[in-house]
Amino acid sequence: MSIRTLKAAIRDVPDFPKPGILFKDITPILKDPVLFREAIALFAKRHRGKGIRKVAAIDARGFLFGSALACVLKAGVVLIRKKGKLPYQTHEATYDLEYGSATLSVHTDAFEPGEPVLLVDDLLATGGTALASAELIERAGGRVVELDFLIELSFLKGREKLARYPLFAPIRF
């Protein structure tokens, strides 16, 4: 199986969630057990045996990849959620969106001081969500080892915003 096969399975959905957006739909990968395992294996190969203690997964599709990857790496999984969705004390980070802003949160006790953390999401666009998430990990005491995305929308230049972190995205559009 190749990255090309995974890329071919991603479906374009025009005008979702609003007119002018070409949404990259990963559900064809998720519903196919062979493709889903291959996607997780792409990430796992990079980090197996490297001491990752936690996989931080970004709300919501990142939860799917992060949970599966944490199991493979024998690591814990930490959820980075939208404000108001976590039940315990949280750190919060607000970041700008195209029209407005959003706030993410993580539990204050999610990481041990200096603990190696892998941040995972399905897609890198402008980088705002990932940057806020990485900063939350650091504020909560974790050490960001790498940011991993299945897909990168290169034309949005999110990688530039995340230049201080190692970054992996095998599928680029």
* 138: annotated active-site residue: no
- Please tell me whether residue 165 adopts helix, strand or coil conformation: coil
CB 35 within 8 A of CB 65: no
Q: How far is CA 66 from the centre of its chain?
A: 7
Phi-psi region of 119 (alpha: psi -120 to 50; beta: other; left: phi over 0): beta
Dihedral of CA atoms 28, 54, 164, 155 in degrees, nearest 10, equals 10
* Residue of 61, 139, 143, 172 marked active site: 61
Residue 61 annotated in active site: yes
Q: List, by residue number, the catalytic residues.
A: 61, 98
